[in-house]
Structure 1
Amino acid sequence: MKQPPRPRRSRAFPPQEPASAPESAPEDDRRGAAEVVEAPQASMRGEESGSEREAHFSTGARASRIRRGSEARDERTARRERNRELRRSRREAAARPTSGDLLRRPIGQSDAATVLGSSDESATADLGERRKERQLAQRRLVLTRIATVSAVCVVVAALVWGIFFSPLFALDTSKVSIEGLGEDGATTSEVQAAIQPFASTPLPRLSTSKVSAAIGQVRLVREAQVERTWPRGLKITVRPRQAVLAVKEGAAWSLVDDQGVSLSSSPSMPEGMAPTTLPDGDERSRAAGEVAAIWAAMGDELRSQITMITHDGQTVSMTLSNSRTLNWGVASENDLKAKVAQVLVSQRQARTYDVSSPVHPVTS
Structure 2
Amino acid sequence: MLSARESALSVGLGRKTTATGEVTLVEELKLSQPVGSKPSVASKLRGYVAAATAASTFKSKNHQSSELEERRLEVRRAKLRSYSWLGISVVAGLLVVGGLVWAVFFSTLFALNAQQITVVKGSEKVSPAQVQTILRKWDGVPLPRVSTGNMEAELASIPLVKSAEVSRSWPNGLEISLDLRVPVFSVEEAGQWQIYDTEGVQIETSPVIAEGTLRAELTATDPQKRVQALQLMAQVRSQLDVELLEEVAVLRSEGSLLEIVLNSGAVVKWGDASDTPFKLKVLKVLLGQVPAKLYDVSVPAKPVTA
TM-score scaled to structure 2, two decimals?
Answer: 0.69
Output the amino acid matched with 1:232: N
In the alignment, the residues of structure 1 paired with residue 271 and residue 59 of structure 2 have an alpha-carbon distance, to the nearest angstrom, of: 110
Query: How big is each residue's C-alpha offset from its partner over 1:125-177, in whole Å with a ceiling of 9 and x where there is no partner?
Result: 33222222212211211221121121111111111111122111111111122
Structure 1 residues 212-236: Cα deviation after superposition (integer angstroms, max 9, x where no partner): 2211112232332322221111122
Point out which structure has higher relative CO (alpha carbons under 8 A, 6+ apart).
2
Say which one has the larger Rg: 1
Say which of 260, 268, 282 aligns to 2:224.
Answer: 282
Q: 2:118 aligns with which of 171, 177, 180?
A: 177
Q: Any residues of structure 2 matched to 1:199-348 within 5 Å, and which?
A: 199-259=139-199, 260-267=201-208, 269=209, 272-278=212-218, 279=220, 280-320=222-262, 324-332=266-274, 334-348=276-290
Aligned residue in 2 for 1:167 = 108
The equivalent residue for 1:89 is: none
Task: Specify the alignment match of 2:83 in structure 1.
Answer: 142
Determine the structure 2 residue equivalent to 1:349: 291
Matches within 5 A, 1:116-127: 120-127=61-68
Give how far 1:313 is off: 2.4
The residue that corresponds to 2:25 in the other structure is none
Query: In the alignment, what sits opposite 1:111?
Result: none
Question: What residue is the counterpart of 2:304 in the other structure?
Answer: 363
Q: What's the CA shift string for 1:2-53, capped at 9, x where partnerless? A: xxxxxxxxxxxxxxxxxxxxxxxxxxxxxxxxxxxxxxxxxxxxxxxxxxxx
CA distance in 2, matches of 1:202, 1:337: 58
In the alignment, structure 1 segments of 5+ residues that lack a partner are 1-116
1:202 and 1:333 mapped to 2: Cα distance?
55
One-letter code aligned to 1:167:
T
Q: Which deviates more from structure 2 when the two are superposed, residues 176-185 or residues 340-349?
A: 176-185
1:182 offset after TM fit, Å? 5.0
**Residues 1:253 and 1:361: Cα distance change in structure 2 (over 3 Å):** farther
Matches within 5 A, 1:44-193: 120-181=61-122, 187-193=127-133
Q: How far apart, CA to CA, are the structure 2 residues paired with 1:332 and 1:226?
A: 39
| Residues 173-220 of structure 1, C-alpha deviations (whole Å, 9 max, x = no match) | 1112224455657x5432221110111121222222222221111223
| Counterpart code for 2:144 | P
RMSD: 3.2
Distance in 2, matches of 1:166 and 1:340, equals: 70
Higher helix share: 1
Question: Could you say what secondary structure the match of 1:129 adopts?
Answer: helix
Q: Which amino acid aligns with 2:285?
A: V
Identity rate of aligned residues, in percent? 31
2:181 touches 2:203 (CA, 8 Å); kept in 1? no
The answer (yes or no) to whether the contact 2:217–2:253 under 8 Å persists in 1 is yes
**Deviation (angstroms), 1:252:** 3.7
**Aligned match of 1:197 in 137, 147, 163?**
137
Number of corresponding residues: 248
Output the CA distance in 2 between the equivalents of 1:242 and 1:295.
Answer: 14
**Cα distance in 2 for residues equivalent to 1:333 and 1:119:** 112
The answer to whether the 8 Å contact 1:226/1:237 transfers is yes
Give me the whole-angstrom Cα distance separating, in 1, the residues matched to 2:60 and 2:227: 99
Q: Which amino acid aligns with 2:95?
A: V
Q: Is this contact kept in 2: 1:350–1:363, CA < 8 A?
A: no
Query: How far has the Cα of 1:299 moved from its partner?
Result: 2.6
1:31: which partner in 2? none
